[in-house]
Structure 1
Amino acid sequence: MTKSYIEIKKESLSDAKKNFKYDLIEEVECGRSCTPKYRKKLLFKVSFAAFQLILLFFFLIFICFPLTYKFCYSLQRAAVFLNFKNIPLNPDYHHPAKYGLEGTRNYYVTTDDDVKLGVWQLLPEQEVGNYENSSFDDEQFQNLLSDGKNVIIYNHGNGGCRLTDHRIQLYKVLRQQFHVIAYDYRNYGDSSDRELSEDNVVQDIMYMIKWVKSKAKGHVFVWGHSLGTSLSTQALARLQTSGTRVTGLILESPFNNMREEISEFPLTRWFKHLPWFAFTVVDPMQENNFLFKTDVHICHVDLPIIILHAEDDNVVPYRLGYKLYEAALKCKSEKDGSIQFKSFEENLHYGHKYIYKDERLPNIISNFVLEAIKETRKKSKN
């Protein structure tokens, strides 16, 4: 009996499906049943595909990203300031007591260029009970800075804001001896969303120092951490030219300049061994004025300085802090103010931001304060 055209087509399709099924089974079971030649061919295909993926990854990460970094100002700025990183969920700037800071007031200070800066003012520990439940308004609370006690201004590093935990823990240590002023630069925390640059943040710091100096009757000290060390040093160097001075400067985990520090940044440390690292990362940042030349500015700061650095710091290497110290020794004379360097042993595991845990820190600070005040008085007599 002659088969119809439709029946023949159905049989052909059925045979094709069976063959396809058998081919799949053969490929799946290739490890047991296929020929060595076929296995070798399959292994070559898999290896070549893996090689292509690795090559693509290398091209994107080690060539495309550095080239993008070279020509992207906003990416360079993000790498320096990290103001998008370590932001706490649902931060409550208005109620510092929620973070264990009783006797602390939140308010806002507006700079000369109309930037609103979020500020926390912490009373000295011994004064907390006297004013904790006071009905003082912000201005009356600010006027407590004029009680004759020493004041310290804390200038934070990159990332986070004034309610980041390691900063809060340091405030608690500092308030044992000072009124503490902790605040956020522009574009950090709840401060005004304005353009970030080295010069702009230095302007914020200069304004806050002048603002505190206008209210405080006691000695004023400045504490800078990480990126804040370079910003603080530059701000004080500039202020001295106009006659505004503080009593002492404390630099925690500082670096000597951005050219050497940039290779340690989280966004760039992967690329520091590449032959084109300087061309794509270091040089463009210099061209865009991300300079942070602490080793230059420190030569123009005529006051006592102490540097604190942990030996196991993996963000700002200990050697860069010591390089800054050596630079200061070379360019500063004895009449320019003393310079001290205090290291914290590697086995203490303080890293980049946990020096506040050291039981010796309050004594280190109080000794420095006494020496700085003594130097200041001696200089004022001469």
Structure 2
Amino acid sequence: MKKIVKTIKWLMITIISILIVAVLWIRFSRFTDTMIYKTNGLTYDSFQTEYTHQEYYYEIDKNVKIHAVLFKPDSTTAPIGTIIHYSGKGIHLMSSQKYYKSILDKGFQVFSFERRNFGKSTGTADNSVQLKKDALYVFDKITKHKDVVDTPIIIWGQSLGGAFAIMNAAERQEKINGLIVEGTFSSFPDIGKVYANALHMENFKAFVPLLMNNDFPAEKEIKKIKKPVLVIHSHNDEQVPYKLGEKLYESSNKDNTEFWKIKGKHIKALFDYEKEYIDKFLEMINN
């Protein structure tokens, strides 16, 4: 009997040890980072647009170039403001343009870029820390541009891009007028639990946060922001649950943050509430 108990004890120790090693390997190999930013080859040969624009390639290092575009309003007057847009996971610059027409028509210019290994950007998107550095590098570059430097700046993030937008706003809030995020989650571990089936852990959701690095802790970063913030979330959002947008808002500073609860599909508010949405941008540059 003692021999059986001893065997069971060592078996349990072995299983637990294997689980700990597996968790540590997943965390430190950044396996989940690769899954988060995987885009299944969403690239294209040449950039095309009907809008007036300036195209850029920022050379981060020898093998990494970040593709970016500054979309300009069709006007002889200077832009009334600059919106720096962080789009959703699978939305590159060929597809993000559908969001810009009403914004450009109002007189704003819009700047956006494609993260590594996406669109026309090169490199490997397998490390959140590096992608964070890329975002801040590109932000610092464009905000020194002669057409941007004297304009009010709003950071705008949608879905996954909202995590980047909140980080950027927290790190560079002295350079911006405000932040708008739509359909954004409170943290990667939180959204990871929603998509636990992607890790084949739908029955072990509580363990997902142990596997994920949280280099974009939106609910912590948003607390740091003192400039005007608008959190937009649809009660019908089927991709990022409403409760995660609500949790993000609850973590914010209520003195400078507004929560706009809407109805509709994921990150479609600009089409469903065009006038109200544009008015939110105008309010921020006029504060």
User: How many correspondences in the alignment?
Assistant: 261
**2:155: which partner in 1?**
222
**Is 1:364 the equivalent of 2:277?**
yes
Task: For 1:294-309, list aligned pairs within 5 A.
Answer: 294-309=218-233
Provide closer, same or farther for how the CA distance between residues 189 and 267 of structure 1 changes in structure 2, counting only shifts above 3 A: farther
Which digits, 9 at most, give the CA deviation of each residue in 1:225-276, with x for residues without a partner?
A: 1111112211221224xxx42111110111111221112237538633x1x4
1:302, 1:112 → 2: CA distance? 33
Please state how far the C-alpha of 1:76 moved relative to its aligned partner.
1.4
| Residues 93 and 106, structure 1, Cα contact 8 Å, conserved in 2 | no
**Partner secondary structure for residue 159 of structure 1:** coil
Runs of 4+ in 1 over 6 A off after TM superposition: 67-70
2:131, 2:239 → 1: CA distance? 21
**2:103: which partner in 1?**
174
| Residues 167 and 218, structure 2, Cα contact 8 Å, conserved in 1 | yes
1:262, 1:152 → 2: CA distance? 29
**Is 1:200 the equivalent of 2:135?**
no
Q: Where do 5+ consecutive residues of structure 1 fail to align?
A: 1-66, 131-143, 376-382
**1:138: which partner in 2?**
none
1:323, 1:234 → 2: CA distance? 17
**Is 1:314 the equivalent of 2:217?**
no
Please state how far the C-alpha of 1:84 moved relative to its aligned partner.
2.2
Please state how far the C-alpha of 1:311 moved relative to its aligned partner.
1.6
Please state how far the C-alpha of 1:148 moved relative to its aligned partner.
5.0
Q: Normalising by structure 2, what TM-score? A: 0.79
Higher RCO (C-alpha under 8 Å, 6+ residues apart) = 2
1:80 equivalent among 33, 36, 51 = 36
Task: For 1:36-55, list aligned pairs within 5 A.
Answer: none
Q: Normalising by structure 1, what TM-score? A: 0.61
1:325, 1:362 → 2: CA distance? 23
Query: What RMSD, in angstroms, separates the aligned Cα atoms of the two structures?
Result: 2.8
Please state how far the C-alpha of 1:305 moved relative to its aligned partner.
0.9
Please state how far the C-alpha of 1:171 moved relative to its aligned partner.
1.9
2:23, 2:36 → 1: CA distance? 12
Identity of aligned residues (%): 23
Q: Where do 5+ consecutive residues of structure 2 fail to align?
A: 1-20
1:269, 1:318 → 2: CA distance? 22
1:322, 1:254 → 2: CA distance? 10
Provide closer, same or farther for how the CA distance between residues 93 and 303 of structure 1 changes in structure 2, counting only shifts above 3 A: farther
> Which is richer in strand?
2
1:203, 1:117 → 2: CA distance? 12
**2:285: which partner in 1?**
373
1:245 equivalent among 159, 175, 178 = 175
Task: For 1:146-295, list aligned pairs within 5 A.
Answer: 147-164=78-95, 167-177=96-106, 178-215=108-145, 216=148, 217-240=150-173, 244-265=174-195, 267-268=197-198, 271-272=201-202, 274=203, 276-279=204-207, 281-285=208-212, 289-295=213-219
Determine which structure has more spread, i.e. the larger CA radius of gyration. 1
